[in-house]
Amino acid sequence: MKIRDRNKIIKAISYSSANRAENFLSLKSPEQIEVILLLSKHVQLQLLKDITDQDLIRLINHLDPNDATDIIQLLPSTRQKDILSHLNEYLKSHVTNLLAFDQDTAAGFMNVDYIQVVPRDTVSSVAKSVKRYEKRTGKVPTILIVDQSGLSGQLPIHELAFAKPTDYAINYSRKISTIDYNVKSDGVVDYFRSHPHSKVVVIGRHKNVLGIIYIDDILELLHTDETSSLYDFAGVSEEESIYDNVTRKVNFRYKWLLINLATSFLAAFTVGLFDEIISKYVLLAVYMPIVAGMGGNSATQTLAVMVRGLSQGEVKSKILLQTLKNEIMSGIINGVINGLIVVLVIYLLDGDLYVGIVLGLAMIVNLFIAGTFGTLVPVVMKKLGKDPASSATIFITTATDIFGFLTFLGLATIILK
């Protein structure tokens, strides 16, 4: 299928929910496989709801076990069982095996693109096994050498082109990294970071080979985590997609926006307490957005660092105090730097040194507040079992807005009167 035609089909299926199933089923089987694997998870889920079990079984029977597992995981458990019972034996065996593991562990990320050979297998027989596998799946497998004690090593595929057909596989064995099947997803990512290999073998409870994790699988995991964090920071549900209609988008977002509206009223109430000084010094109103903006930006920077540290297990109780000190000192120093610039700019633009001093001092205090709340709030949310990325943002921005305005206008009341 030409790329232009494929993209046109994907667009039609993604945006036209009314004709989604009809457009998809009108494609030939190879085109269906190509298209469904390129659709977003959200659109895949909607498409699977619209097509019959018979059509789905026909499609899945043409997928490799890894892609088939990804598709079947999107189905309700009862439908999963029905679909599995009608798959060919090869696919059923591998998919059932993959589905049996916790999806948040190393076993949940592995695939079965490998073949096992014994040390005394000849290069010729290994080559035949590779050809059979490639003919059946369309993929070139990793060749693992396994003896009675377990995994011995791997046979690089390029060695088949240069080795003598009668040589034994063990003569060309190379080491390959392994990881236990029950290591959590964070541990898998950390392993790849500290061991920069293209693949790692997943080992079971009895030191048996279960599968392989390729670096592509981890990159996809990292992409998913980044997207999730981005959605959390923005207050958008992960279930929401660019393909959703207006009604669904409103349903996903209005509660978050209402909470933000309520906190905005708190900030507005704080400002209202100082209406007398604002009416006397209109210039204060001009520079108020700077207070909120700088505090919010600084807090977001701190929050991003803390959320990343929490997600990777770097934030421990014994270093929390030092982390807090570092963030506070960073906030104060940045506040001083920006505060001095603010004083100079306001004096040059408006000739009012005192308003500049008020804003400069408020900047220091607000960045101190941003560092404090940006460090502590996500830790507290984590302790309470809440997602710090999504739940901490609203409390931190509310704190910087309220305390920022309170400091700015409070200092103005003291200094300018």
Give the whole-angstrom CA distance, residue 333 versus residue 298. Answer: 12
70: CB partners within 8 A, 6+ apart = none
Q: Specify the pTM.
A: 0.52
Instruction: Give the residue ranges of DSSP H helices in 312-387.
Output: 317-350, 353-383
Residue with tokens 């079947």: 72
Could you give the CA distance from residue 162 to residue 290 in angstroms, rounded to a whole number? 68
Separation CA 165–CA 359 (nearest Å): 80
Topology annotation, domain 109-225: CBS-domain (3.10.580)
Do 94 and 67 form a contact (C-beta atoms < 8 A)? Answer: no
Q: Which pLDDT value is given to residue 237?
A: 44
Quote the tokens at residue 137: 């799946």
Measured between alpha carbons, how far is residue 91 from residues 30, 41, 137, 202, 357 in Å? 17, 22, 11, 20, 72
Report residues of the chain scoring pLDDT below 70: 1-4, 196, 219-245, 248, 252, 256, 311-318, 386-391
pLDDT value of position 193: 76
Domain boundaries, the chain: 3-102, 109-225, 246-416
CA-closest candidate to residue 400, choices 253, 289, 259: 289
What CATH class is the domain 3-102? mainly alpha
pLDDT score for 397: 82
Q: What is the pLDDT of residue 387?
A: 64
Q: What φ, ψ does residue 253 adopt, rounded to 5°?
A: -110, -25
Average pLDDT, the chain: 83
> φ and ψ at 114, to 5 degrees?
-155, 160
Instruction: Give the dihedral of Cα atoms 192, 197, 201, 204; nearest 10 deg.
Output: -30
Q: pLDDT by residue (tens digit) across 186-244?
A: 788 888 877 767 789 999 988 899 999 888 777 666 655 544 444 444 444 445 555 56
CATH number assigned to the domain covering 246-416: 1.10.357.20
For the chain, the first-to-last Cα distance in angstroms comes to: 75
pLDDT tens sequence across 146-176: 988 889 999 999 889 888 999 999 999 999 9
Res 255: pLDDT: 76
DSSP per residue over 90-147, as a string? HHHHHHHHHHTS-TTBHHHH-B--EEEE-TT-BHHHHHHHHHHHHHHHSSPPEEEEEE
What CA–CA distances, in Å, run from 218 to 41, 109, 112? 17, 8, 15
β-pairing verdict for 142-147 and 178-180: unpaired
